[in-house]
Amino acid sequence: MKKFYVTTAIDYVNAAPHIGHAYEKIAADVVARYYRLRGFDVFFLTGVDEHGSKVEKSAQAAGKTPIEFCDEISSTFEKSWRNLNLSFDYFIRTTEERHAKVVQSLFTKLKEQGDIYKSTYMGLYCEGCEDFLRERDLDDNGHCPTHKKAPRELAEENYFFKLSKYKPAIKQWLEENPDAVRPEGRRKEVLNQLNDPELTDFSVSRSRKSLSWGIPIPGDDDQVIYVWMDALTNYITGVGYLSDDKQFERYWPADLHLIGKDITKFHSIYWIAFLLAANLPLPKQIYAHGFITVEGQKISKSLGNVIDPNKLVEEFGADAVRFFLMSGTSFDQDGDFSKHEFIRKVNSELANNLGNLVNRTLTLIDKNLDGKIPDCKPEHDLREKANTLHTVFDSCMEKLEFAKAIEAVMATVDQTNKYMNDEKPWTQFKEGKVKEGSEVLYTAVEMLRRVAFQIYPFAPKMASDIWWQLGHDDTLEVIGDSEKPDGFFDMIPVGQKVRNTGPIFKRLEEPDAP
């Protein structure tokens, strides 16, 4: 089996997860489920970043030790992702002992070969970014443009990594591999950053006087390893680097690092430099997606618009949340969450278009065909249209164009609804045209079987419910494990008994509706 290794950024545990965190994790799960259905051996890694000054200060404010605080918040993240029905293979925490060993080993290797050295640095440090900023990076108020706070002047003796040594190789990698960093605009940003002479060697440690919560540097009790070297290394720890050679050889390099656009530099420059220095293969693609806003505003505690994904799932279900976030906006652009638009879109697409098609098709089969799939062939034109749309769907999924992929799925649903309305099988059966009516229903069922395949990565529970109601005793997950290139082109068995147990998706109600 071909392999596919997908990762997400690991989230800071200085606060509970919100819908912005969920957006990326859902996208990674969509990718993982899609490739599993295509017969790939998928490894999906997500997790949390538990070291750094932000975490240390949040723990102090909560009156807890750092590890107590991390245990509590990390469990909240993992629970949230399970509530969203994410199929991750491993949830990594950077406080794991095996991770510390990997980070320390990498640090020692790079130090011994001369890529890490000790020096003193003075600069403007943003705790939100966990990075040094230049004067020209600040906004008109002298604040970090991302975190809206003034950085503080910091001067201390640290260990530095020789980024300058690897900049030419990183540039060459980006130029020779157009898909290495996507979308294209982000790749151009990284190339521009590499051409900046001020982007040079950077700190990979902090003094214990300013930060005690971190992985210790072997042989130097006065320093801890800087958060980015610690955090980025999770991608190799998670698939067994230094702990499971067979697993690491199987899955590394990563096929896809999914990250937010604000950390593109760290992944596309710092991480690549570390891998080059360690003589490890480079990831195949880094994709930096847009952000999610709420009612047009950036997610912020001060604005009071932080949305807990768990509450959304509790109120509306995981499928609805997943479907809306992936269908609303192009993944490379910023998207917006509006509860009113969320309810409108989900009702329109899932309850009305798809849900009603499933319900009326199976009801007619129960009423007219004793609940069994008739011995027919699907209508040629509609089948060919579905095949063409499946080609579009695959292309969009491979390019992470999730909203367009969903449009292709719903186009099949719309065409099938139109076909049913045009052919009127309920009238055909009344007029004694059993053969004609049976052919229409078989065609509709066959389209629904195909739609179940396509909608599964986005709404896995609903897709599985459709699959079961169509009479299948296996699962879509089992089909993904069968090493078939694509079960989409199979045919539903004649004589199979359908299970019409009612609507697959109930309409959502506005919270303030009577």
Q: Which residues are catalytic?
A: 18, 21, 126, 129, 144, 147, 298, 301
Measure CA 191 to chain center. 25
Whole-angstrom Cα distance, residue 282 to residue 270?
12
- Return the amino acid letter for 443: T
Using only C-alpha atoms, the chain has a radius of gyration, in whole angstroms, of 26
Separation in Å, CA 41 to CA 249, 256, 287, 391, 408: 13, 14, 21, 22, 26
- Backbone torsions φ then ψ of 7, nearest 5 degrees: -130, 160
For residues 178 and 474, give the distance between their C-alpha atoms in angstroms, rounded to a whole number. 41
Task: Report the greatest alpha carbon distance in the chain.
Answer: 89
Helix (H, G, I), strand (E, B) or coil at 355: helix
Query: Which residues make Cβ contacts (< 8 Å) with residue 87, sequence separation at least 6?
Result: 29, 32, 33, 36, 44, 460
Helix and strand element counts for the chain (H, E) = 21, 16
Using CA atoms, how far residue 68 sits from 95, 216, 385, in Å, is: 11, 19, 56
Contact criterion met (CB below 8 Å) for 272 and 228: no
Contacts of 214 (CB under 8 A, 6+ apart): 51, 52, 206, 224, 225, 226, 227, 230
254's tokens = 């990563």
Handedness of CA 369, 371, 377, 379 (dihedral sign): positive
**Residue 424 region, left (φ>0) first, then alpha (ψ -120 to 50), else beta?**
left
The DSSP string of 110-123 is HHHTTSEEEEEEEE
Tokens of 304: 């009071």
Q: Report the relative pairing of strands 286-289 and 292-294 from DSSP bridges.
A: unpaired
